[in-house]
Amino acid sequence: MTTVQLSLLPAADAELDLSSYAFIVLSTSAGKDSQAMMDLVVKRARAEGVAERLVAVHANLGRVEWPGTMDLAAEQASCYGLRFEVVRAGGGDLLERVEQRGMWPDAARRWCTSDLKRGPIYTLFTRLAAEWRDGGGTGPCRILSCMGLRAEESPARRKCPVFDFDRRASNGRRHVDTWLPIHSLTTAEVWQVIDRSGVSHHPAYDAGLPRLSCSFCILGSRSALVRAAQLRPDLASEYVRVEIATGHRFRQDLSIADVVAAAKTDVPVRIADWVA
């Protein structure tokens, strides 16, 4: 297997000048992709002499994320000597919001991402821009937002630009660009980066889960959801309760109640990746 080097980052990234940004923000779920992204961006930032501008941020999802996720995100950031920030949405967690709305998010309406991840991270951008001004910065604060999205994950992510101006996150006080440093990496290459780093990964992967998203992600495969129900039966019961209370199925093609029933008898041999 070929060793993943910085040269494997998309060729267009070579033109990216990290020193032109006041802050380089690494969104971390503590999952494999954000972990590999962190490793490669830190190495590049050190090479360019701007490592002190790196900020790792974790959008805490509360009870719906895998146990130990926030602590692991902090540990991973600490291994690289990064400033670590935690943000969390107000107004209740995912299950509370589903009860309020009376329906679950779906592939076409992923309000869970905008409400619980993107929105709270924007609040960090606001704070960083204020820091910039308080420190004597003039003009819009330039922020580079780095995420671990990969083309291999889904057709939708394959179409995502590696580098783009984030119009929604930008305003008169901040200019935000988005960078997907590992967009072209394969899953095997991601794990190679992690193994080489020596930094801990989440045990959910060792239990067979292909991604570290919400424990019960609406995009998860049936086998992944069944495995999650076996690992987190109490949380699965909460999902069933909310499904009954709202009268709305977790997914059009799949009920969490059916997942819980299958978890009592199924023995997943191969857990499929996400459905979208």
Domain assignment of residue 220, yes or no: no
CA distance 172 to 135: 18
pTM of the model: 0.92
Task: Compute the mean pLDDT over every residue in the chain, rounded to the nearest whole number.
Answer: 92
Which residue in 241, 179, 210, 229 sits closest to 37, CA to CA? 179
The answer to whether residue 107 sits within a structural domain is yes
Decide if 230 is inside a domain.
no
* For the chain, percent of residues with pLDDT exceeding 90: 85
203 occurs within a structural domain: no
CA distances from 276 to 135, 251, 272 (A): 43, 13, 11
The whole domain housing 164 covers 16-187
Q: Beta strand pairing status for 141-146 and 174-179?
A: parallel
Q: pLDDT per residue over 52-98, tens digit each?
A: 999 999 999 999 999 999 999 999 999 999 999 999 999 899 999 99
Count of domains for the chain = 1
For residue 202, give the nearest of 31, 61, 29 by alpha carbon.
Answer: 31
Give pLDDT, residue 269.
Answer: 61
CATH code of the domain in which 63 resides: 3.40.50.620
In a domain, 131, yes or no: yes
Residue 10: inside a domain: no
Gap between the Cα atoms of 191 and 205, Å rounded: 11
Which pLDDT score, from 0 to 100, does residue 87 have?
Answer: 97
In a domain, 33, yes or no: yes
Give the pair of three-digit tokens for residue 184.
């072209």
Q: 71: burial class by Cβ within 10 Å (0-12, 13-18, 19+)?
A: exposed
Q: Is residue 204 part of a domain?
A: no
Query: Given CA atoms 157, 272, 186, 149 in this order, what sign does their dihedral have?
Result: positive
